[in-house]
């Protein structure tokens, strides 16, 4: 009898514990819903968690790639890896808790190459390069506080904004195609003698820039499999399709012997090989406050402003977050986040940071609030302890690159919102898309389109339609080409 009573008592206690656990879980879910306005934006906590995890998976490569690029500027890889992750954590937290947007923040691709390679010919040290990043971040902040950045952003026509989304979508698809080897350089596999220029000092460009990849390569076949798998699941409206596709493709690759085991699993950050001491707060600010650095500062400002604007419009379009005029609501908040992240990045020892276009993967999974960005921040923070384990990610492009191709496909319908009945809108939009794609750079395409827009309007006698901000943007973009250093 006592045993029965004891068992009944234990059952009652466990039931009470379960009920208490459910109540706590419900309270947490209710708190998150209220804080992030999840229900108001048509999402759920589960969707936000999936969206954040998906975004992290598609941008985790930055942990390996960014330090590798910055190493060419003389910044040590170990500390640079920690700085990259710390910057992403800071930016994503700020985006989550202040802007409440499902947009991840991390050091930009392109800007890091500009810092590492674009400034190499000037013979300046990495301390001054980081100083330039910090000063440009301060400029972003001042322009945001004075509401000049939103004013400039809202001066751009809806057709141009949607051309940004289209160009970025195709750019993402191109990155995916190239990273996986589905499309590759025409010079690949050619003997170097066939590319020697007439002087014998430099290699010439091949007559055909690109060619189809090697479809006997398992790496290429796995990427094709991943892309079709993701597209199939999206057609079937499978929640988490992109994340599931990445995971299944990675598993398939490992089973085929395409994976690489890490040298270690866990290591402590902020000490030993991963201390920030050699690079944190080593930036040279006073050294860049001179006239000779003005082109560098203008270039960094325009690159970051236009990359952020293009990214916000692109992800906003992907998630139906733009208003009827094609503007991103409360755009000053994510732009302020961008400016603070940029300053933090320079202080930590990394390159220009801002909103990441890969956020579109999570947004396409339904993420609409800052909770998704909070998830990304948490995963980046966790990755600080698993840097050795994450290093093999650089060899898994066949798994994550198909996700970029899938997002490019999903962003393509933005082209339908370009006014093709008005050539003064169509021409700049066309220039934007093709220059983004064929110069392999977002900032180059956006600047080209923004210059052409007012020029062509004026040429056909429709200058009265121009917003003053579009003229200011065109002038800044012209400085980018005349005095700045457009990067390839």
Whole-number pLDDT of residue 125: 85
Whole-number pLDDT of residue 18: 56
Q: Is the pLDDT of residue 488 over 50?
A: no
Characterize 323-351 residue by residue with b for buried, 16 or more Cβ atoms within 10 angstroms of its Cβ, and e for exposed: eeebbbeebbbbbbbbbbbbbbbbbbbbb
Whole-number pLDDT of residue 8: 53
Q: What is the pTM of this model?
A: 0.71
Quick one: tokens of 288? 């860049």
The more confidently predicted of residues 48 and 164 is 48
Whole-number pLDDT of residue 212: 92
How crowded is residue 416: how many other Cβ atoms within 10 Å of its Cβ?
A: 9
Domain assignment present for 214: yes
Domain assignment present for 35: no
Whole-number pLDDT of residue 471: 92
Looking at the 3D structure of the chain, how many domains does it have? 1
pLDDT digits (tens, 9 = 90+) for 251-268: 899 899 887 767 778 888
Domain assignment present for 64: yes
Domain assignment present for 262: yes
Domain assignment present for 20: no
Whole-number pLDDT of residue 14: 58
The more confidently predicted of residues 315 and 50 is 50
Mean pLDDT across the chain: 84
Domain assignment present for 18: no
Q: In the structure, what pLDDT confidence band is assigned to residue 85 with cuts at 50, 70 and 90?
A: very high
pLDDT digits (tens, 9 = 90+) for 215-236: 999 999 999 999 999 999 989 8
Q: In the structure, what pLDDT confidence band is assigned to residue 451 with cuts at 50, 70 and 90?
A: very high
The more confidently predicted of residues 147 and 453 is 453
User: What's the alpha-carbon Rg for the chain, to the nearest Å?
Assistant: 24
pLDDT digits (tens, 9 = 90+) for 277-336: 999 999 988 888 877 677 677 767 777 777 788 788 778 887 777 777 777 888 888 989
Question: Which residues constitute the domain of residue 270?
Answer: 40-186+210-482
Report the candidate in 238, 253, 255 with the shortest Cα–Cα distance to residue 401. 253
pLDDT digits (tens, 9 = 90+) for 113-142: 777 766 665 677 889 889 989 998 998 888
pLDDT digits (tens, 9 = 90+) for 165-183: 888 889 888 888 988 899 9
d(CA 185, CA 182): 10
Domain assignment present for 237: yes
Domain assignment present for 9: no
């Amino acid at each position: 009898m006592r045993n029965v009573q004891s068992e009944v008592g234990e059952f009652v206690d466990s039931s009470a514990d379960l009920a208490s656990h459910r109540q706590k879980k419900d309270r947490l879910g209710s708190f998150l819903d209220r804080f992030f306005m999840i229900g108001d934006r048509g999402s759920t906590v589960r969707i936000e968690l999936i969206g954040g995890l998906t975004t992290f998976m598609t941008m985790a490569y930055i942990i390996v790639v960014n330090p590798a690029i910055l190493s060419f500027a003389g910044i040590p890889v170990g500390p640079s890896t920690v700085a990259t992750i710390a910057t992403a954590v800071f930016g994503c937290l700020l985006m989550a808790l202040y802007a409440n947007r499902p947009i991840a923040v991390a050091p930009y691709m392109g800007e890091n190459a500009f810092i590492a390679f674009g400034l190499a010919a000037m013979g300046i040290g990495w301390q001054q390069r980081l100083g330039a990043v910090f000063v440009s971040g301060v400029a972003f902040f001042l322009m945001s506080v004075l509401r000049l950045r939103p004013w400039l952003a809202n001066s751009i026509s809806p057709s141009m904004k949607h051309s940004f989304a289209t160009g970025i979508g195709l750019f993402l698809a191109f990155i995916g195609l190239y990273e996986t080897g589905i499309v590759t350089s025409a010079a690949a596999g050619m003997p170097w003698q066939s590319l020697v220029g007439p002087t014998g000092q430099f290699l010439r460009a091949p007559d055909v820039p690109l060619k189809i990849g090697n479809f006997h390569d398992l790496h290429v076949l796995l990427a094709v499999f991943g892309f079709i798998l993701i597209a199939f699941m999206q057609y079937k409206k499978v929640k988490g399709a992109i994340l599931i596709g990445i995971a299944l493709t990675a598993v398939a690759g490992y089973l085929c012997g395409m994976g690489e085991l890490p040298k270690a699993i866990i290591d402590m950050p902020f000490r030993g090989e991963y201390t920030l001491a050699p690079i944190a707060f080593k930036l040279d600010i006073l050294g860049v406050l001179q006239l000779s650095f003005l082109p560098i500062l203008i270039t960094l400002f325009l690159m970051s402003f236009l990359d952020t604007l293009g990214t916000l419009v692109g992800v906003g379009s992907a998630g139906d977050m733009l208003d009827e005029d094609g503007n991103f609501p409360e755009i000053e908040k994510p732009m302020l986040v961008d400016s603070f992240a940029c300053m933090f990045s320079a202080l930590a020892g990394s390159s220009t940071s801002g909103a990441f276009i890969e956020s579109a993967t999570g947004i396409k999974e339904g993420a609409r609030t800052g909770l998704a960005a909070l998830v990304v921040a948490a995963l980046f923070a966790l990755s600080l302890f698993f840097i050795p384990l994450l290093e093999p990610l650089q060899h898994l492009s066949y798994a994550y690159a198909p996700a970029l191709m899938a997002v490019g496909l999903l962003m393509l319908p933005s082209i339908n919102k370009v006014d093709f009945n008005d050539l003064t809108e169509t021409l700049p939009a066309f220039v934007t898309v093709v220059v983004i794609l064929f110069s392999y750079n977002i900032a180059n395409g956006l600047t080209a389109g923004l210059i052409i827009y007012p020029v062509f309007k004026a040429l056909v006698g429709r200058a009265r339609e121009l917003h003053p901000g579009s003229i200011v943007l065109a002038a800044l973009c012209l400085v980018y080409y005349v005095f700045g250093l457009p990067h390839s």
